[in-house]
């Protein structure tokens, strides 16, 4: 048997529908519909090496329509990735199977990103394409020059994030981005014309994309379109007219093939119709060999690339390895210590957003891989420094992205940049607009990516802009997300320490919440140790057994210290604990936690944010001062008085609790 194109595509289709059938759960329609497009891509164009899935100059392949996960698993298995065996495919959707319900990012697996929430993969792909352009400019096209391919569905393009991300991709003219639109005109509720009547050609052309339309079941048409897109000067959308559930006599073209096993009887009918006479999960040797040959081509590709890489100077190679392996420069620690000393001597009373800005400015001179940005709030977030240079379509030599008012795309793009490797993304907006980018931030945490979110204007302390702009529930929400470090530094030194932790943490994203208002310099002793890495520490203390323990974060630490001094005057022994990160405090040993928050001391927390979550630190005998309603529009001083976020209120509460 000499396998032909149809045999290759059928291998994808049957692995997919048999796995879904065995799991009795999953989405067969997309893999059946997109088998032809993806086979053309993998067979003729995709530059990848299954023997080294992390080869840095590989083309990226993103399945944005993550529900069609079996398409990806089938392709990875067939082309010879070690990460996915036939046993794994048989275990589709079973506990701990790499073939999870939706693709989950894993280093060295070939799964480039976690997808499932529609639209996210598209934004990740834009981030990968941006990172590629930046790296290409930095290290030259002989080292980095690859494409980013995406399979996206109707649902992907209905999502708001796709509008943001595609618009920015067009603006930046990301020519190495090639998106296949699985244009099957079917979604879960039925035909897409129930909900959408966009003119995709006009939509994409208005973004500045190249638009082509093909029959997604015609090998030659697909191939011709990809070939054309390889030389494009713009991002590329290839709209592939496909039939969902292709090959299913009773379910093709219908939403019934979208998200449920076809059923034993229908699967047999598909076998007959597509003339596939093999048992479930059986791929004839000749067909598997043909697929493996496609994968094997990658070994040579990487070998050629290695030759080029090896000819580079030691300096270039070292730097390339450093950034792609996410290592900080050798002098990084020294730089942090020097900055710390300087701040300790000058004791600036900066707003923490300003401290952050001056820290970024300092470290970026030594960290060329640091790529900043803001969703149109650069001046407010202090993300843009005198060394920031805007990235433009005509020049990717810069280190700063003007994301425009596109918070959601910004976060999704930062995920894509972090996944690409070689760059460290940070991006800013107001903390309240977490709501506009949270789905992507959640994925930063789920994937374990080094993405740094700079969220300024972190409380009612922002003042007059009022309750629409004043975050209340946001910190509590962020703190409930697993694998996310949420920092709220109290002064310049703490801000520096939080930045240091964020940059050293390769597998946990960070949120650094920063004040709009000026903050007193509260650090009393200069330590080499990063105190914020403890999550919480004693910042002010009289003698060993305080009756009252005040716990505060960020801008409220100074108020707690003021209260501490007032309590001292009336002979109440207290201490102040600064808690810049609850997550890191949770990781400390029990005895440290008990020392910081002693059992027999009455605890009062103070934070200009929802009190939710503080119960676990103040306990049943303690109390929390914070926000129990939305804020108000007024000058900051009036707001803090109005909401009882004052040292006087702390003092009266402490007295009351002590029965004095
Ligand atoms: C953000 C988000 N909302 C909802 C869903 C649930 N969902 C999964 S697929 C889908 C739409 C299916 O239509 P389409 O994207 O055209 O995929 P196809 O039916 O062609 O496979 C929906 C609503 C999701 N995965 N992500």
Q: What is the DSSP string of 591-611?
A: HHHHHHS-TTSEEEEEEEEE-
Which of these, 375, 397, 401, 410, lies nearest to 124 by C-alpha position?
A: 410
Report how far ligand 1's centroid is from the alpha carbon of 188 (Å): 7
**Rounded mean pLDDT, 65-93:** 98
Please tell me if the CB atom of residue 36 comes closer than 6 angstroms to any atom of ligand 1.
no
As a whole number of angstroms, the distance between CA 654 and CA 660 comes to: 8
> Using CA atoms, how far apart are residues 259 and 244, in angstroms rounded to an integer?
11
pLDDT tens-digit readout, 544-560: 899 999 999 999 999 99
DSSP state, residue 397: T
Cα–Cα distance between 228 and 217 in angstroms, integer? 18
Q: Please report the atom of ligand 1 found closest to the CA of residue 185.
A: 16
The predicted pLDDT at position 544 comes to 87
Relative to the CA of 187, which ligand 1 atom is closest? Answer: 13
Residue 365 pLDDT > 90, yes or no? yes
Q: CA 67, CA 55: separation in Å to the nearest integer?
A: 26
Q: Is the CB of 117 under 6 A from ligand 1?
A: yes
Q: What percent of the chain has pLDDT over 70?
A: 100
For 471-503, give the DSSP string: -SSHHHHHHTSTT-EEE--SSHHHHHHHHHHHH
Number of alpha carbons in the 13 Å side-chain half-sphere of residue 300: 5
pLDDT band at 6 (very low <50, low <70, confident <90, very high): very high
Q: In the chain, what percentage of residues exceed pLDDT 90?
A: 99
Report pLDDT digits (tens) over 370-424: 999 999 999 999 999 999 999 999 999 999 999 999 999 999 999 999 999 999 9
pLDDT of residue 591: 98
The Cα 156–Cα 187 span in angstroms is 11
Tell me the pTM: 0.98
Q: How far is the CA of 619 from the centre of ligand 1 (A)?
A: 44
Cβ 500 under 6 angstroms from ligand 1: no
Task: Tell me what pLDDT residue 648 has.
Answer: 98
- For residues 381 and 374, is the Cβ–Cβ distance under 8 A? yes
HSE-CB of 479 using CA atoms within 13 angstroms: 24
* Nearby residues of 119 by Cβ (< 8 Å), 6 or more positions away: 64, 155, 156, 159, 160, 161, 162, 165, 412
Give how far Cα 254 sits from Cα of 186, 246, 594, 626, Å. 7, 10, 61, 53
pLDDT at 617: 98
Those residues whose C-beta lies under 8 Å from the C-beta of residue 92, and which sit 6 or more positions away, are 19, 20, 22, 23, 26, 70, 73, 99
pLDDT at 206: 98
Distance from CA of residue 321 to its chain's centroid? 23
Residue 549 contacts residue 588 (beta carbons within 8 Å):
no
Q: How does 410-432 read in b/e, with b if 16+ C-beta sit within 10 Å?
A: bbbbbbbbbbbbbbbbbbbbbbb
Whose alpha carbon is nearest atom 25 of ligand 1?
117
**Which candidate, 467, 442, 447, 448, places its Cα nearest to that of 457?**
467
- Secondary structure (DSSP) of 435-468: GGTHHHHHHHHHHT---EEEEES-SGGG-TT-TT
Q: What is the pLDDT of residues 309-362, one digit of tens each?
A: 999 999 999 999 999 999 999 999 999 999 999 999 999 999 999 999 999 999
Tell me what the mean pLDDT of segment 47-60 comes to: 98
Q: In this structure, what DSSP letter does residue 119 have?
A: T
- Kindly report the average pLDDT of the chain as a whole number: 98
CB 651 within 8 A of CB 550: no
pLDDT digit string, tens, across residues 605-655: 999 999 999 999 999 999 999 999 999 999 999 999 999 999 999 999 999
**Residues noted as catalytic:** 407
Please give the pLDDT value at position 142.
98
Does position 16 have pLDDT exceeding 90, yes or no?
yes
pLDDT in tens, 129-176: 999 999 999 999 999 999 999 999 999 999 999 999 999 999 999 999
Backbone dihedral region for residue 274 (phi beyond 0: left; psi -120 to 50: alpha; all else: beta): alpha
Task: Specify the residue with its C-alpha closest to ligand 1, atom 12.
Answer: 187
The pLDDT, as a whole number, for residue 1 is 82
Q: Choose which residue among 28, 155, 156 to substitute to test ligand 1 binding: the one with the highest number of ligand atoms within 8 A of its C-beta.
A: 155
* Residue reference for tokens 């949420």: 486
Contact (CB, 8 A) for 262 and 268: no
Average pLDDT of the segment spanning 40-59: 98
């Amino acid at each position: 048997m000499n396998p032909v194109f149809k045999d290759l595509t059928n291998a994808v289709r049957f692995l997919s529908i048999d796995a879904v059938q065995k799991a009795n759960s999953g989405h067969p329609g997309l893999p059946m519909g997109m088998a032809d497009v993806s086979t053309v891509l993998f067979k003729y164009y995709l530059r990848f090496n299954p023997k080294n899935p992390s080869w840095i100059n590989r083309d990226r392949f993103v399945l944005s329509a993550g529900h069609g996960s079996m398409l990806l698993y089938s392709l990875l298995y067939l082309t010879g990735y070690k990460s996915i065996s036939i046993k794994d495919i048989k275990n589709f959707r079973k506990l701990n199977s790499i073939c999870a319900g939706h693709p989950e990012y894993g280093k060295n697996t070939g799964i480039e990103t976690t997808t499932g929430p529609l639209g996210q993969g598209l934004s990740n792909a834009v981030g990968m394409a941006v990172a590629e352009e930046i790296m290409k400019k930095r290290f030259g096209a002989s080292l980095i020059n690859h494409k980013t391919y995406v399979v996206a569905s109707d649902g992907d393009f209905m999502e708001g994030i796709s509008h943001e991300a595609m618009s920015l991709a067009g603006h930046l003219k990301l020519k190495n981005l090639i998106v296949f639109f699985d244009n099957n005109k079917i979604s879960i509720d039925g035909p897409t014309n129930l909900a959408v009547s966009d003119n995709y050609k006009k939509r994409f052309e208005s973004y500045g994309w190249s638009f082509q339309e093909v029959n997604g079941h015609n090998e030659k048409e697909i191939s011709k379109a990809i070939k054309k897109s390889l030389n494009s000067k713009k991002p590329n959308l290839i709209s592939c007219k496909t039939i969902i559930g292709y090959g299913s006599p009773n379910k093709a073209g219908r939403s019934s093939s979208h998200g449920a096993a076809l059923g034993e009887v229908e699967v047999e009918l598909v076998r007959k119709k597509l003339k596939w006479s093999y048992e479930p999960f059986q791929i004839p040797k000749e067909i598997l060999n043909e697929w493996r040959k496609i994968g094997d081509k990658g070994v040579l590709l990487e070998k050629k690339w290695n030759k080029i890489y090896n000819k580079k100077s030691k300096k270039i190679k070292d730097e390339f390895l450093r950034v792609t392996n996410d290592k900080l420069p050798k002098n990084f620690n020294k730089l942090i210590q020097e900055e710390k000393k300087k701040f300790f001597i000058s004791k600036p009373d900066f707003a923490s957003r300003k401290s952050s800005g001056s820290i970024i400015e300092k470290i970026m001179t030594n960290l060329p891989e640091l790529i900043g940005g803001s969703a149109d709030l650069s001046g407010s977030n202090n993300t843009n420094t005198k060394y920031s240079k805007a990235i433009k379509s005509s020049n990717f030599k810069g280190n700063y992205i003007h994301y425009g008012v596109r918070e959601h795309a910004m976060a999704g793009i930062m995920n894509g940049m972090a996944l690409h490797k070689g760059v460290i993304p940070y991006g800013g907006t107001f903390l309240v607009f977490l709501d506009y980018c949270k789905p992507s931030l959640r994925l930063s945490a789920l994937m374990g990516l080094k993405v740094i979110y700079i969220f300024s204007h972190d409380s009612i302390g922002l003042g007059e802009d009022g309750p629409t702009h004043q975050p209340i529930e946001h910190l509590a929400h962020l703190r409930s997300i697993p694998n996310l470090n949420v920092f709220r530094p109290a002064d310049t030194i703490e801000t520096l320490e939080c930045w240091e932790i964020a940059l050293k943490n390769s597998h946990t994203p960070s949120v650094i919440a920063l004040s709009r208002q000026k903050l007193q310099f509260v650090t009393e002793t200069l330590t080499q140790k990063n105190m914020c890495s403890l999550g919480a520490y004693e910042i002010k203390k009289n003698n060993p057994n305080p009756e009252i323990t005040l716990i505060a974060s960020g801008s409220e630490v100074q108020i707690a210290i003021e209260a501490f001094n007032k309590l001292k005057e009336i002979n109440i022994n207290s201490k102040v604990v600064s808690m810049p990160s609850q997550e890191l405090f949770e990781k400390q040993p029990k005895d440290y936690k008990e020392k910081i928050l002693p059992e027999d001391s009455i605890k009062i927390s103070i934070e200009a944010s929802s009190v939710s979550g503080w119960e676990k630190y103040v306990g049943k005998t303690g109390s929390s001062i914070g926000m129990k309603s939305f804020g108000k529009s007024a000058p900051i001083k009036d707001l803090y008085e109005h909401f009882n976020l004052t040292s006087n209120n702390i003092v009266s509460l402490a007295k009351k609790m002590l029965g004095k």
